[in-house]
Structure 1
């Protein structure tokens, strides 16, 4: 790879587009080598590059270039409870999680690549009951810290995403001054980016810079559930 080439090439999205049109095991098995060369191996290269950069943001966030249990999310869909039985995901999902928590709900960073859109996310998606309760207590006890972290992720190209409860959560008054934030079921800062950004040599540095911009949010969430950041 020359200095003016990125880790990912256009063949990444070409493969995903073809997979969308041929989402079956026979086609995937026939094109498995393409998947490994055009999707998985570049993703591992990206993860290794991010590993070197994440240490400057937090020593507790991890980048794992392993086939099982690593930062690259599985291409295989879990179809057990879905009406959609197509076997493969048609996107690339890469997650960088806290070293003390390995599941998708732990505070972390997420990079999403597909043929329609690309986005970066930071925060905690659909946390379990205990973590959600801890976030609500932290918002109640440290509202100014939360407001500062939240508002930093609602300016410019950033937005806060995630479902909210329609009613006040149990044990919280409807007239609480932070009730709209206490209704949140996820705490995620998101920003979109163009496909062309993926092909540039500085793509890992770009993602790392956005990780840096969300430090107040990540620190707040990690602290709320007793994790170091």
Structure 2
């Protein structure tokens, strides 16, 4: 049985959209867009079903092609990618998944994009006390081969209330705690790409399990869940 895939036609459409990012061209090619969008949504749902075999997923969100240009200097009206996020179910499961399909720019990401103030402080305090579990996870070959190094925006110096000379300042100054895996167009077009995405997300679980434990307890290890 053939599984839903991303086809060359979809990448070609997105390339043409980037080159002709205007409403007139888009209107003339609206039917082609609908076909490509349907293909992408079908693929995202295929990934969702595979992910449900190793995680509890509450929601799939497929992002719109239309850009919000109200506060942007770039007034081009359309994105030239198809993307989706996968939300984990329950307060006890933290972390989010993101999938981005774009010619010569496809990637997946997992982690914490914009932690709330309280969560950010809790994470930083954990790294200040003992980040050994995190560092052990990141050193594991099965993890590192898939996800590489911890990414995300960070401060240039220590956040307020933390010592800039702390030996774990490389973690403490992070504002985001994400991992990213990039893909070539050839990898995206492969018939088993949905498996690759799902298995990659599965490989992030040791990190998610650790962060979920941190974010659902206080510094004394007491549960914050109702």
| TM bucket normalised to smaller | 0.7 to 0.9
| Counterpart-to-counterpart distance in 1, 2:68 and 2:136 | 37
Tell me which structure has the larger Cα radius of gyration.
2
Corresponding residue of 1:159: 149
1:42 lines up with 2:39 in the alignment: yes
| Counterpart-to-counterpart distance in 2, 1:92 and 1:151 | 32
How far is the alpha carbon of 1:167 from its aligned partner?
1.1
**What SS is found at the alignment partner of 2:150?**
strand
User: Conserved in 1, the CA contact under 8 Å of 2:127 and 2:172?
Assistant: yes
Q: 1:34 to 1:100 in 2, by over 3 A?
A: farther
Structure 1 residues 69-126: Cα deviation after superposition (integer angstroms, max 9, x where no partner): x2x112111112111011111122221122358xxxx721112221222212111113
Matches within 5 A, 1:79-118: 79-100=69-90, 107-118=95-106
Structure 1: gaps of 5 or more residues: 65-69
Q: Say what the alpha-carbon RMSD is for the aligned residues.
A: 2.4
Aligned partner (choices 202, 205, 218) of residue 212 of structure 1: 202
User: Conserved in 2, the CA contact under 8 Å of 1:51 and 1:62?
Assistant: no
Moved more, 22-31 or 207-216: 22-31
**Alignment coverage as a number of residue pairs:** 214
Moved more, 140-149 or 25-34: 140-149
How far is the alpha carbon of 1:152 from its aligned partner?
4.1
Aligned partner (choices 167, 174, 180) of residue 164 of structure 2: 174
User: Conserved in 1, the CA contact under 8 Å of 2:106 and 2:182?
Assistant: yes
Aligned partner (choices 14, 17, 33) of residue 19 of structure 1: 17
Corresponding residue of 1:67: none
| Counterpart-to-counterpart distance in 1, 2:125 and 2:74 | 38
Moved more, 138-147 or 73-82: 138-147
| Counterpart-to-counterpart distance in 2, 1:174 and 1:43 | 45
**What SS is found at the alignment partner of 2:178?**
strand
| Counterpart-to-counterpart distance in 1, 2:29 and 2:58 | 30
